[in-house]
Structure 1
Amino acid sequence: MRKPLVMGNWKLNGSIGMAKDLVTGLRNELSTDANCGIAIAPPSVYLDFVAHQLGGSNILLGAQDVGIHLSGAYTGEVSATMLKEIGVTHVIIGHSERRTYHKESDEFIAQKFGVLKEAGLVPVLCIGETEAENEAGQTQAVCARQIDAVINALGVQAFNGAVIAYEPVWAIGTGKSATPAQAQAVHKFIRDHIAKQDAAVAEQVIIQYGGSVNDKNAAELFTQPDIDGALVGGASLKVDAFAAIVKAAEQAKK
Protein backbone atom coordinates (compact mmCIF):
# COMPACT_ATOMS: atom_id res chain seq x y z
CA MET A 1 0.00 0.00 0.00
CA ARG A 2 1.52 3.31 -1.09
CA LYS A 3 1.51 6.07 1.50
CA PRO A 4 0.25 9.28 -0.14
CA LEU A 5 2.34 12.44 -0.03
CA VAL A 6 0.88 15.94 0.09
CA MET A 7 3.55 18.54 -0.60
CA GLY A 8 3.13 22.30 -0.53
CA ASN A 9 5.08 24.35 -3.08
CA TRP A 10 5.20 27.93 -1.78
CA LYS A 11 6.86 29.15 -5.01
CA LEU A 12 8.05 32.78 -4.78
CA ASN A 13 5.91 33.68 -1.79
CA GLY A 14 6.41 34.33 1.89
CA SER A 15 8.38 36.12 4.55
CA ILE A 16 9.92 35.16 7.88
CA GLY A 17 6.72 36.13 9.64
CA MET A 18 4.48 34.26 7.23
CA ALA A 19 6.67 31.15 7.39
CA LYS A 20 6.54 31.14 11.19
CA ASP A 21 2.76 31.58 11.30
CA LEU A 22 2.14 28.99 8.59
CA VAL A 23 4.34 26.32 10.17
CA THR A 24 2.86 26.99 13.62
CA GLY A 25 -0.63 26.59 12.20
CA LEU A 26 0.25 23.41 10.33
CA ARG A 27 1.87 21.88 13.40
CA ASN A 28 -1.29 22.53 15.38
CA GLU A 29 -3.56 21.10 12.68
CA LEU A 30 -1.47 18.12 11.58
CA SER A 31 0.37 17.04 14.72
CA THR A 32 -0.98 13.48 14.78
CA ASP A 33 -1.37 12.73 11.08
CA ALA A 34 0.52 9.56 10.22
CA ASN A 35 -1.26 7.97 7.26
CA CYS A 36 -0.07 10.62 4.83
CA GLY A 37 3.38 12.03 4.18
CA ILE A 38 3.46 15.83 4.51
CA ALA A 39 6.11 18.17 3.11
CA ILE A 40 6.46 21.89 2.46
CA ALA A 41 8.85 23.60 0.07
CA PRO A 42 9.50 27.26 0.96
CA PRO A 43 11.81 29.55 -1.04
CA SER A 44 15.46 28.59 -0.54
CA VAL A 45 16.30 31.63 1.61
CA TYR A 46 13.82 30.42 4.24
CA LEU A 47 14.78 26.73 4.24
CA ASP A 48 17.02 26.84 7.28
CA PHE A 49 14.55 28.97 9.24
CA VAL A 50 11.66 26.64 8.37
CA ALA A 51 13.79 23.60 9.24
CA HIS A 52 14.11 24.92 12.78
CA GLN A 53 10.39 25.71 12.96
CA LEU A 54 9.58 22.14 11.91
CA GLY A 55 11.88 20.53 14.47
CA GLY A 56 10.25 17.52 16.12
CA SER A 57 7.19 17.58 13.85
CA ASN A 58 6.10 15.01 11.26
CA ILE A 59 6.26 17.58 8.44
CA LEU A 60 9.13 17.09 5.99
CA LEU A 61 11.20 19.88 4.48
CA GLY A 62 11.26 20.21 0.71
CA ALA A 63 13.14 22.47 -1.70
CA GLN A 64 11.87 23.95 -4.96
CA ASP A 65 14.94 23.24 -7.09
CA VAL A 66 18.55 22.06 -7.05
CA GLY A 67 21.72 22.69 -9.06
CA ILE A 68 23.50 19.88 -10.89
CA HIS A 69 26.92 20.65 -9.37
CA LEU A 70 28.05 19.88 -5.82
CA SER A 71 30.52 22.77 -5.56
CA GLY A 72 32.53 25.20 -7.64
CA ALA A 73 32.21 28.44 -9.56
CA TYR A 74 28.45 28.32 -10.12
CA THR A 75 27.13 31.61 -8.79
CA GLY A 76 23.58 31.47 -7.47
CA GLU A 77 23.34 27.69 -7.44
CA VAL A 78 22.45 25.52 -4.44
CA SER A 79 23.73 21.93 -4.31
CA ALA A 80 22.02 18.72 -3.25
CA THR A 81 24.51 18.22 -0.40
CA MET A 82 23.84 21.74 0.91
CA LEU A 83 20.09 21.08 0.91
CA LYS A 84 20.57 17.75 2.66
CA GLU A 85 22.79 19.31 5.33
CA ILE A 86 20.04 21.67 6.48
CA GLY A 87 17.40 18.94 6.65
CA VAL A 88 15.77 18.89 3.21
CA THR A 89 14.45 15.45 2.22
CA HIS A 90 12.39 16.11 -0.95
CA VAL A 91 13.27 18.32 -3.92
CA ILE A 92 10.95 19.47 -6.71
CA ILE A 93 12.49 19.29 -10.18
CA GLY A 94 11.10 19.77 -13.66
CA HIS A 95 8.30 22.11 -12.61
CA SER A 96 6.66 23.61 -15.69
CA GLU A 97 7.73 27.07 -14.54
CA ARG A 98 11.38 25.94 -14.63
CA ARG A 99 10.86 24.26 -17.99
CA THR A 100 9.19 27.38 -19.41
CA TYR A 101 11.00 30.34 -17.85
CA HIS A 102 14.45 28.75 -17.51
CA LYS A 103 14.30 26.58 -20.64
CA GLU A 104 15.20 23.42 -18.71
CA SER A 105 15.23 20.38 -20.99
CA ASP A 106 14.11 16.84 -20.17
CA GLU A 107 17.76 15.75 -20.23
CA PHE A 108 18.87 18.53 -17.86
CA ILE A 109 16.08 17.64 -15.44
CA ALA A 110 17.19 13.99 -15.61
CA GLN A 111 20.66 15.17 -14.53
CA LYS A 112 19.10 16.84 -11.50
CA PHE A 113 17.21 13.63 -10.75
CA GLY A 114 20.48 11.70 -10.74
CA VAL A 115 22.24 14.22 -8.50
CA LEU A 116 19.41 13.99 -5.96
CA LYS A 117 19.41 10.19 -5.94
CA GLU A 118 23.18 10.19 -5.48
CA ALA A 119 22.79 12.49 -2.47
CA GLY A 120 20.07 10.32 -0.92
CA LEU A 121 17.32 12.88 -1.47
CA VAL A 122 13.85 12.22 -2.92
CA PRO A 123 13.26 13.74 -6.37
CA VAL A 124 9.74 15.04 -6.97
CA LEU A 125 9.67 14.99 -10.77
CA CYS A 126 7.02 17.24 -12.30
CA ILE A 127 5.66 16.20 -15.67
CA GLY A 128 2.67 17.34 -17.70
CA GLU A 129 1.37 18.76 -20.93
CA THR A 130 0.43 22.27 -22.01
CA GLU A 131 -3.10 23.19 -23.06
CA ALA A 132 -2.12 23.03 -26.74
CA GLU A 133 -0.57 19.59 -26.27
CA ASN A 134 -3.65 18.44 -24.39
CA GLU A 135 -5.97 19.64 -27.15
CA ALA A 136 -3.76 17.92 -29.74
CA GLY A 137 -4.12 14.60 -27.91
CA GLN A 138 -0.44 14.51 -26.91
CA THR A 139 -0.83 14.12 -23.14
CA GLN A 140 0.47 10.56 -23.02
CA ALA A 141 3.31 11.22 -25.45
CA VAL A 142 4.53 14.22 -23.45
CA CYS A 143 4.40 12.38 -20.12
CA ALA A 144 6.16 9.34 -21.61
CA ARG A 145 8.93 11.53 -23.07
CA GLN A 146 9.53 13.31 -19.77
CA ILE A 147 9.68 10.02 -17.84
CA ASP A 148 11.82 8.30 -20.46
CA ALA A 149 14.48 11.02 -20.16
CA VAL A 150 15.12 9.77 -16.61
CA ILE A 151 14.88 6.08 -17.56
CA ASN A 152 17.28 6.54 -20.49
CA ALA A 153 19.81 8.38 -18.34
CA LEU A 154 19.58 6.46 -15.07
CA GLY A 155 17.54 3.29 -15.60
CA VAL A 156 14.03 2.56 -14.39
CA GLN A 157 15.35 1.61 -10.93
CA ALA A 158 15.96 5.33 -10.33
CA PHE A 159 12.22 5.64 -9.70
CA ASN A 160 12.50 3.45 -6.59
CA GLY A 161 11.74 5.76 -3.67
CA ALA A 162 11.03 8.68 -6.01
CA VAL A 163 7.93 10.80 -6.55
CA ILE A 164 6.28 11.85 -9.81
CA ALA A 165 3.92 14.82 -9.84
CA TYR A 166 1.57 14.90 -12.81
CA GLU A 167 0.76 18.56 -13.30
CA PRO A 168 -1.13 19.46 -16.46
CA VAL A 169 0.33 22.87 -17.25
CA TRP A 170 -3.10 24.22 -18.21
CA ALA A 171 -4.31 23.56 -14.65
CA ILE A 172 -1.50 25.24 -12.69
CA GLY A 173 -2.65 28.42 -11.03
CA THR A 174 -5.58 28.74 -13.44
CA GLY A 175 -8.37 27.48 -11.23
CA LYS A 176 -8.96 24.72 -13.81
CA SER A 177 -8.37 21.17 -12.67
CA ALA A 178 -8.54 17.86 -14.45
CA THR A 179 -11.58 15.86 -13.42
CA PRO A 180 -10.80 12.95 -11.11
CA ALA A 181 -11.45 10.54 -13.99
CA GLN A 182 -9.16 12.48 -16.36
CA ALA A 183 -6.40 12.65 -13.76
CA GLN A 184 -6.74 8.96 -12.92
CA ALA A 185 -6.47 7.99 -16.59
CA VAL A 186 -3.15 9.83 -16.92
CA HIS A 187 -1.84 8.50 -13.60
CA LYS A 188 -2.67 4.95 -14.70
CA PHE A 189 -0.90 5.56 -18.00
CA ILE A 190 2.21 6.80 -16.14
CA ARG A 191 2.25 3.76 -13.86
CA ASP A 192 1.64 1.37 -16.75
CA HIS A 193 4.39 3.05 -18.79
CA ILE A 194 6.92 2.45 -16.00
CA ALA A 195 5.57 -1.07 -15.47
CA LYS A 196 6.60 -1.97 -19.03
CA GLN A 197 10.17 -1.68 -17.73
CA ASP A 198 9.65 -2.92 -14.16
CA ALA A 199 6.31 -3.73 -12.54
CA ALA A 200 7.67 -3.60 -8.98
CA VAL A 201 9.11 -0.12 -9.48
CA ALA A 202 5.82 1.06 -10.99
CA GLU A 203 3.78 -0.31 -8.11
CA GLN A 204 5.70 1.55 -5.40
CA VAL A 205 6.31 4.92 -7.10
CA ILE A 206 4.27 7.77 -5.61
CA ILE A 207 2.36 9.67 -8.33
CA GLN A 208 0.89 12.94 -7.09
CA TYR A 209 -1.59 15.15 -8.88
CA GLY A 210 -0.93 18.89 -9.11
CA GLY A 211 -2.82 21.74 -10.72
CA SER A 212 -5.29 23.89 -8.78
CA VAL A 213 -5.71 21.27 -6.05
CA ASN A 214 -7.74 22.73 -3.19
CA ASP A 215 -9.78 21.71 -0.17
CA LYS A 216 -12.90 21.44 -2.36
CA ASN A 217 -11.66 19.00 -5.03
CA ALA A 218 -8.99 17.04 -3.12
CA ALA A 219 -11.20 14.35 -1.58
CA GLU A 220 -12.59 13.16 -4.90
CA LEU A 221 -9.16 13.20 -6.56
CA PHE A 222 -7.68 11.07 -3.76
CA THR A 223 -10.28 8.33 -4.10
CA GLN A 224 -8.74 7.40 -7.46
CA PRO A 225 -6.55 4.27 -7.22
CA ASP A 226 -3.42 5.70 -8.87
CA ILE A 227 -3.45 9.20 -7.33
CA ASP A 228 -1.11 9.21 -4.34
CA GLY A 229 -1.54 12.67 -2.85
CA ALA A 230 -0.88 16.08 -4.35
CA LEU A 231 1.64 18.78 -5.11
CA VAL A 232 -0.20 21.87 -3.92
CA GLY A 233 0.49 25.46 -4.97
CA GLY A 234 -1.70 28.35 -3.83
CA ALA A 235 -3.67 26.37 -1.26
CA SER A 236 -0.42 25.46 0.54
CA LEU A 237 -0.14 29.09 1.69
CA LYS A 238 -3.30 28.75 3.78
CA VAL A 239 -3.24 26.62 6.93
CA ASP A 240 -6.89 25.55 6.79
CA ALA A 241 -6.87 24.66 3.09
CA PHE A 242 -3.59 22.73 3.18
CA ALA A 243 -4.57 20.85 6.35
CA ALA A 244 -7.91 19.91 4.77
CA ILE A 245 -6.09 18.49 1.70
CA VAL A 246 -3.81 16.39 3.92
CA LYS A 247 -6.77 15.08 5.89
CA ALA A 248 -8.62 14.24 2.68
CA ALA A 249 -5.63 12.18 1.53
CA GLU A 250 -5.51 10.34 4.83
CA GLN A 251 -9.22 9.59 4.77
CA ALA A 252 -9.23 8.39 1.16
CA LYS A 253 -6.39 5.90 1.64
CA LYS A 254 -7.58 4.31 4.90
Structure 2
Amino acid sequence: MRKPFIAGNWKMHNGIRETKEFFARFLGMYLDSSEVDVAIAPVFTAIEAAKNACKGRRVYIGAQNMHMEDKGAFTGEIAPGMLKELDVDFVILGHSERRHIFGETNNTIALKLKKAVLEGLLPIFCVGETLQERENEKTETILREQLDTAFNNLDAKEVSRVIVAYEPVWAIGTGETATPRIAGDAHIFIRNRIKELYNAVAAEDMRILYGGSVKPANARELLSVPDIDGALIGGASLQPDSFAEIIKISLEG
Protein backbone atom coordinates (compact mmCIF):
# COMPACT_ATOMS: atom_id res chain seq x y z
CA MET A 1 0.00 0.00 0.00
CA ARG A 2 1.51 3.32 -1.11
CA LYS A 3 1.13 6.16 1.39
CA PRO A 4 -0.53 9.27 -0.10
CA PHE A 5 1.77 12.22 -0.72
CA ILE A 6 0.12 15.64 -0.78
CA ALA A 7 2.48 18.44 -1.83
CA GLY A 8 1.96 22.16 -2.26
CA ASN A 9 4.00 24.09 -4.81
CA TRP A 10 3.75 27.76 -3.94
CA LYS A 11 5.65 28.92 -7.04
CA MET A 12 6.47 32.67 -6.70
CA HIS A 13 3.92 33.38 -3.96
CA ASN A 14 4.10 34.02 -0.21
CA GLY A 15 7.10 35.80 1.25
CA ILE A 16 8.25 35.33 4.83
CA ARG A 17 5.35 37.21 6.41
CA GLU A 18 2.71 35.38 4.35
CA THR A 19 4.43 32.05 5.05
CA LYS A 20 4.22 32.60 8.80
CA GLU A 21 0.58 33.62 8.48
CA PHE A 22 -0.21 30.53 6.39
CA PHE A 23 1.26 28.09 8.89
CA ALA A 24 -0.31 29.87 11.85
CA ARG A 25 -3.67 28.97 10.30
CA PHE A 26 -2.87 25.70 8.54
CA LEU A 27 -1.24 23.95 11.49
CA GLY A 28 -4.39 24.53 13.49
CA MET A 29 -6.45 22.76 10.83
CA TYR A 30 -4.09 19.89 9.97
CA LEU A 31 -3.90 17.08 12.49
CA ASP A 32 -0.60 15.25 12.08
CA SER A 33 -1.09 11.77 10.64
CA SER A 34 1.31 8.95 9.89
CA GLU A 35 -1.08 7.83 7.14
CA VAL A 36 -0.17 10.65 4.73
CA ASP A 37 2.97 12.58 3.80
CA VAL A 38 2.37 16.33 3.63
CA ALA A 39 4.83 18.65 1.93
CA ILE A 40 5.12 22.30 0.90
CA ALA A 41 7.67 24.00 -1.36
CA PRO A 42 7.75 27.73 -0.54
CA VAL A 43 9.95 30.33 -2.24
CA PHE A 44 13.65 30.00 -1.40
CA THR A 45 13.64 33.03 0.91
CA ALA A 46 10.81 31.58 3.02
CA ILE A 47 12.20 28.06 3.48
CA GLU A 48 13.73 28.82 6.87
CA ALA A 49 10.53 30.49 8.09
CA ALA A 50 8.54 27.45 6.96
CA LYS A 51 10.94 25.02 8.65
CA ASN A 52 10.75 26.97 11.91
CA ALA A 53 6.95 27.10 11.77
CA CYS A 54 6.71 23.33 11.27
CA LYS A 55 9.17 22.23 13.94
CA GLY A 56 7.86 19.09 15.58
CA ARG A 57 5.07 18.68 13.02
CA ARG A 58 4.69 16.11 10.23
CA VAL A 59 5.16 18.55 7.35
CA TYR A 60 8.02 18.27 4.87
CA ILE A 61 9.48 21.53 3.55
CA GLY A 62 11.23 21.56 0.19
CA ALA A 63 12.53 23.63 -2.70
CA GLN A 64 11.08 24.30 -6.12
CA ASN A 65 14.30 23.87 -8.10
CA MET A 66 18.07 23.42 -7.83
CA HIS A 67 21.19 23.37 -10.00
CA MET A 68 23.12 20.21 -10.75
CA GLU A 69 26.54 21.64 -9.83
CA ASP A 70 27.97 22.10 -6.34
CA LYS A 71 29.14 25.66 -7.01
CA GLY A 72 30.22 27.93 -9.84
CA ALA A 73 29.42 30.95 -11.97
CA PHE A 74 25.69 30.26 -12.25
CA THR A 75 24.01 33.57 -11.49
CA GLY A 76 20.67 33.18 -9.76
CA GLU A 77 21.01 29.43 -9.15
CA ILE A 78 21.15 27.44 -5.93
CA ALA A 79 23.22 24.32 -5.27
CA PRO A 80 22.04 21.07 -3.66
CA GLY A 81 24.44 21.56 -0.76
CA MET A 82 22.96 24.98 -0.08
CA LEU A 83 19.51 23.41 0.15
CA LYS A 84 20.85 20.81 2.55
CA GLU A 85 22.19 23.62 4.75
CA LEU A 86 18.57 24.78 5.00
CA ASP A 87 17.60 21.21 5.94
CA VAL A 88 15.09 20.87 3.10
CA ASP A 89 13.41 17.50 2.74
CA PHE A 90 12.67 17.41 -1.00
CA VAL A 91 13.05 19.29 -4.27
CA ILE A 92 10.72 19.67 -7.26
CA LEU A 93 12.48 19.01 -10.57
CA GLY A 94 11.30 19.26 -14.17
CA HIS A 95 8.17 21.28 -13.49
CA SER A 96 6.51 22.33 -16.74
CA GLU A 97 7.15 26.00 -15.98
CA ARG A 98 10.87 25.24 -15.70
CA ARG A 99 10.71 23.37 -19.00
CA HIS A 100 8.60 25.80 -21.01
CA ILE A 101 9.45 29.21 -19.52
CA PHE A 102 13.09 28.66 -18.61
CA GLY A 103 13.99 26.20 -21.36
CA GLU A 104 15.10 23.26 -19.24
CA THR A 105 15.62 20.16 -21.37
CA ASN A 106 15.14 16.49 -20.56
CA ASN A 107 18.93 16.14 -20.37
CA THR A 108 19.31 19.04 -17.94
CA ILE A 109 16.56 17.67 -15.73
CA ALA A 110 18.15 14.21 -15.81
CA LEU A 111 21.40 15.67 -14.44
CA LYS A 112 19.50 17.46 -11.68
CA LEU A 113 17.59 14.30 -10.80
CA LYS A 114 20.76 12.23 -10.49
CA LYS A 115 22.39 14.90 -8.35
CA ALA A 116 19.39 15.18 -6.04
CA VAL A 117 19.38 11.42 -5.44
CA LEU A 118 23.14 11.36 -4.78
CA GLU A 119 22.78 14.26 -2.33
CA GLY A 120 20.00 12.54 -0.41
CA LEU A 121 17.28 14.98 -1.44
CA LEU A 122 13.88 13.47 -2.28
CA PRO A 123 13.06 14.56 -5.84
CA ILE A 124 9.52 15.12 -7.08
CA PHE A 125 10.15 14.63 -10.79
CA CYS A 126 7.51 16.18 -13.04
CA VAL A 127 6.44 14.91 -16.45
CA GLY A 128 3.57 15.86 -18.73
CA GLU A 129 2.40 16.83 -22.20
CA THR A 130 1.15 20.08 -23.72
CA LEU A 131 -2.33 20.47 -25.19
CA GLN A 132 -0.95 20.30 -28.72
CA GLU A 133 0.94 17.11 -27.93
CA ARG A 134 -2.21 15.55 -26.48
CA GLU A 135 -4.29 16.60 -29.50
CA ASN A 136 -1.62 15.10 -31.77
CA GLU A 137 -1.87 11.85 -29.77
CA LYS A 138 1.73 12.13 -28.58
CA THR A 139 1.11 11.92 -24.84
CA GLU A 140 2.74 8.52 -24.41
CA THR A 141 5.64 9.43 -26.69
CA ILE A 142 6.37 12.56 -24.66
CA LEU A 143 6.06 10.76 -21.32
CA ARG A 144 8.33 7.97 -22.53
CA GLU A 145 11.00 10.45 -23.64
CA GLN A 146 10.87 12.34 -20.36
CA LEU A 147 10.99 9.18 -18.24
CA ASP A 148 13.65 7.38 -20.26
CA THR A 149 16.02 10.34 -20.34
CA ALA A 150 15.63 11.10 -16.64
CA PHE A 151 16.03 7.51 -15.46
CA ASN A 152 18.83 6.58 -17.87
CA ASN A 153 21.50 7.09 -15.20
CA LEU A 154 19.55 5.79 -12.20
CA ASP A 155 19.67 2.21 -10.99
CA ALA A 156 16.75 0.45 -9.30
CA LYS A 157 17.91 1.45 -5.81
CA GLU A 158 18.22 5.10 -6.84
CA VAL A 159 14.86 5.22 -8.59
CA SER A 160 13.22 4.00 -5.38
CA ARG A 161 14.12 7.42 -3.94
CA VAL A 162 12.13 9.31 -6.59
CA ILE A 163 8.51 10.47 -6.65
CA VAL A 164 6.98 11.15 -10.08
CA ALA A 165 4.32 13.80 -10.66
CA TYR A 166 2.18 13.68 -13.81
CA GLU A 167 1.18 17.24 -14.65
CA PRO A 168 -0.58 17.72 -17.99
CA VAL A 169 0.64 21.18 -19.02
CA TRP A 170 -2.79 22.12 -20.36
CA ALA A 171 -4.28 21.68 -16.87
CA ILE A 172 -1.79 23.75 -14.88
CA GLY A 173 -3.13 27.07 -13.66
CA THR A 174 -5.88 26.98 -16.28
CA GLY A 175 -8.76 25.72 -14.19
CA GLU A 176 -8.91 22.72 -16.51
CA THR A 177 -8.46 19.33 -14.91
CA ALA A 178 -7.76 15.98 -16.50
CA THR A 179 -10.67 13.61 -16.01
CA PRO A 180 -9.99 10.69 -13.66
CA ARG A 181 -9.82 8.44 -16.73
CA ILE A 182 -7.27 10.63 -18.54
CA ALA A 183 -5.17 11.03 -15.40
CA GLY A 184 -5.46 7.34 -14.54
CA ASP A 185 -4.40 6.25 -18.02
CA ALA A 186 -1.30 8.44 -17.82
CA HIS A 187 -0.41 7.09 -14.37
CA ILE A 188 -0.82 3.51 -15.59
CA PHE A 189 1.46 4.26 -18.54
CA ILE A 190 4.09 5.76 -16.25
CA ARG A 191 3.96 2.80 -13.86
CA ASN A 192 4.20 0.32 -16.71
CA ARG A 193 7.19 2.19 -18.13
CA ILE A 194 8.93 2.02 -14.75
CA LYS A 195 8.31 -1.72 -14.78
CA GLU A 196 9.84 -2.00 -18.26
CA LEU A 197 12.86 0.09 -17.28
CA TYR A 198 13.42 -1.61 -13.92
CA ASN A 199 11.14 -4.28 -12.46
CA ALA A 200 7.67 -4.90 -11.07
CA VAL A 201 8.70 -4.06 -7.50
CA ALA A 202 10.09 -0.65 -8.49
CA ALA A 203 6.91 0.09 -10.43
CA GLU A 204 4.59 -1.00 -7.63
CA ASP A 205 6.48 0.97 -4.99
CA MET A 206 6.73 4.18 -7.03
CA ARG A 207 4.48 6.98 -5.81
CA ILE A 208 2.97 8.88 -8.74
CA LEU A 209 1.20 12.16 -8.01
CA TYR A 210 -1.26 14.09 -10.15
CA GLY A 211 -0.76 17.81 -10.66
CA GLY A 212 -3.11 20.08 -12.58
CA SER A 213 -5.71 22.36 -10.97
CA VAL A 214 -6.33 20.02 -8.02
CA LYS A 215 -8.77 21.51 -5.51
CA PRO A 216 -11.18 20.23 -2.85
CA ALA A 217 -13.99 19.99 -5.40
CA ASN A 218 -12.19 17.42 -7.57
CA ALA A 219 -9.65 15.89 -5.18
CA ARG A 220 -11.85 12.99 -4.03
CA GLU A 221 -12.58 11.88 -7.59
CA LEU A 222 -8.93 12.08 -8.64
CA LEU A 223 -7.44 10.52 -5.50
CA SER A 224 -9.84 7.58 -5.71
CA VAL A 225 -8.10 6.41 -8.90
CA PRO A 226 -5.95 3.38 -7.91
CA ASP A 227 -2.72 4.54 -9.57
CA ILE A 228 -2.90 8.13 -8.31
CA ASP A 229 -0.93 8.25 -5.06
CA GLY A 230 -1.33 11.90 -4.17
CA ALA A 231 -1.23 15.37 -5.63
CA LEU A 232 1.13 18.20 -6.48
CA ILE A 233 -1.02 21.25 -5.82
CA GLY A 234 -0.51 24.82 -6.95
CA GLY A 235 -3.15 27.48 -6.28
CA ALA A 236 -5.20 25.51 -3.76
CA SER A 237 -2.12 24.98 -1.58
CA LEU A 238 -1.92 28.74 -0.97
CA GLN A 239 -5.17 28.60 1.00
CA PRO A 240 -4.79 26.86 4.39
CA ASP A 241 -8.38 25.59 4.45
CA SER A 242 -8.28 24.24 0.88
CA PHE A 243 -4.95 22.49 1.41
CA ALA A 244 -6.09 21.00 4.72
CA GLU A 245 -9.31 19.78 3.08
CA ILE A 246 -7.41 18.00 0.30
CA ILE A 247 -5.22 16.28 2.90
CA LYS A 248 -8.34 15.19 4.77
CA ILE A 249 -9.81 13.79 1.54
CA SER A 250 -6.62 11.80 0.87
CA LEU A 251 -7.02 10.10 4.24
CA GLU A 252 -10.59 9.07 3.49
CA GLY A 253 -9.59 6.99 0.48
Could you tell me the TM-score, scaled by structure 2's length?
Answer: 0.97
Counterpart code for 1:244:
E
What residue ranges of structure 1 are gaps of 5+ in the alignment? none
2:92 aligned partner: 92
Offset of residue 72 of structure 1? 2.7
Alpha-carbon separation, structure 2, partners of 1:66 and 1:33? 29
Counterpart code for 2:242:
A
1:245 aligned partner: 246
Partners of 1:172 and 1:212 within 8 A in 2: yes
Alpha-carbon separation, structure 1, partners of 2:219 and 2:239? 15
1:62-211 equivalences under 5 Å are 62-197=62-197, 198-211=199-212
Alpha-carbon separation, structure 2, partners of 1:99 and 1:218? 26
Structure 1, residues 87-106: CA drift from partner, whole Å, max 9, x if none? Answer: 21110010010001111000
Offset of residue 156 of structure 1? 4.6
What residue ranges of structure 2 are gaps of 5+ in the alignment? none
Offset of residue 28 of structure 1? 1.1
Structure 1, residues 181-233: CA drift from partner, whole Å, max 9, x if none? Answer: 11111101100111112111111111000000001000111111100000000
Offset of residue 32 of structure 1? 2.5
Partners of 1:214 and 1:245 within 8 A in 2: yes
Offset of residue 157 of structure 1? 4.0
2:233 aligned partner: 232
Alpha-carbon separation, structure 2, partners of 1:19 and 1:203? 35
CA RMSD of aligned residues (A): 1.1
SS at match of 2:152: helix
Alpha-carbon separation, structure 1, partners of 2:120 and 2:32? 26
Structure 1, residues 143-194: CA drift from partner, whole Å, max 9, x if none? Answer: 1110101222324543202110000000000000011111111101100111
Offset of residue 75 of structure 1? 2.5
Alpha-carbon separation, structure 1, partners of 2:140 and 2:188? 11
Alpha-carbon separation, structure 2, partners of 1:192 and 1:75? 39
Alpha-carbon separation, structure 1, partners of 2:181 and 2:100? 27
Offset of residue 250 of structure 1? 1.2
SS at match of 2:62: strand
Partners of 2:9 and 2:42 within 8 A in 1: yes
Counterpart code for 1:169:
V
Partners of 2:6 and 2:231 within 8 A in 1: yes
Alpha-carbon separation, structure 1, partners of 2:22 and 2:73? 35
Offset of residue 77 of structure 1? 1.5
Alpha-carbon separation, structure 2, partners of 1:126 and 1:24? 29
Partners of 2:211 and 2:233 within 8 A in 1: yes
2:217 aligned partner: 216
Offset of residue 73 of structure 1? 2.8
Offset of residue 31 of structure 1? 2.8
Alpha-carbon separation, structure 1, partners of 2:75 and 2:128? 30
1:43-54 equivalences under 5 Å are 43-54=43-54
Partners of 1:93 and 1:109 within 8 A in 2: yes
Alpha-carbon separation, structure 2, partners of 1:23 and 1:226? 30
2:11 aligned partner: 11
SS at match of 1:196: helix
Offset of residue 51 of structure 1? 1.1
Could you tell me the TM-score, scaled by structure 1's length?
Answer: 0.96
